[in-house]
Amino acid sequence: MLQISGKDNVLFKKVKKLKQKKYREIEQLFLAEGVKFLDFSTTPNYIFIDEEFDLSLIEQELEKFQCEKYILSSGLFSQLSSQENSQGVILVYSYEKYSLDNLENNILDKVSDPGNLGTIIRTVDAAGFKDIILTTGSVDCYNEKVIRSTMGSIFNARLRYMNEDEMVMFLKDKDYRLISTALDKNSVPYTEIKLKKKNAIIFGNEGNGISKSILAVSDEKVIIPIYGSAESLNVGVACGIILYKIREII
């Protein structure tokens, strides 16, 4: 176990920059914080541990990973941590790259809240799906809040970013049925959703819903009825309801 005690350490400075999106994209690395991440089989590039953490609690978990492991002074660790009461363990992982072949699609149109995206990723995983396309302008899926909200499901999801026109062109060319969730007079109840062999289920931005250009080319629009006084459902909740209905149909 190696020790880092100075803020000028090259690796420490590199990892600290990963708290910013532009450096995550340059390095193709992201941070995941918490002891829970030691339970997953995905091997990190680095593991950083607060000097005050009791290593005897995670000895077995650490042994299974063949990566560089470092002890940080509490002062340095706090500079990497994004949590008020950190568990004292931070892991650094590489980005995953996925092709567009054999999609099982869910489309997220400019989802902006990290907690919502994390919840959606976790829900997609729980419902037995894997693929998520985010339109350009959506929150970064490697944001620390997103990673924490996924509870590890980030490792089971295949995420890609595409601009709106490129995405629509690709899906239409590959003969996907575009199903949009929308508060629209022409929407049918989600219980009557019609599926083809290949389907793209589209969920919209928290405030503005799905863009008009995507709605215009959708093959079907579906709605989840509101029985009370709420204006709409949270996008993460809507995603869960509809994906589980699709799983039931499948």
φ/ψ (deg, to 5) at 180: -105, 140
127-168 confidence digits (pLDDT tens): 999 999 999 889 999 999 999 999 999 999 999 999 999 999
185 is written with which tokens?
């007079």
Global pTM reads 0.90
| Residue 206 pLDDT > 80 | no
Provide the mean pLDDT of the chain: 91
Residue with tokens 């899906």: 171
pLDDT digits (tens, 9 = 90+) for 218-230: 999 999 999 999 8
pLDDT of residue 190 exceeding 80, the answer is yes
Q: Residues near 213 by Cβ (< 8 Å), separated by ≥ 6?
A: 164, 165, 168
Q: Is the pLDDT of residue 100 over 90?
A: no
Q: Please work out, in degrees rounded to the nearest 5, the angle formed at the alpha carbon of residue 63 by the alpha carbons of 61 and 64.
A: 75
Tell me, what's the pLDDT at 22? Answer: 97
Question: Residue 64: pLDDT above 70?
Answer: yes
Reported confidence tier of residue 202, pLDDT bands at 50, 70, 90 = very high
Q: Residue 75: is its pLDDT beyond 80? A: yes
Mean pLDDT of 172-187: 90
- For residue 57, pLDDT over 70 is answered with yes
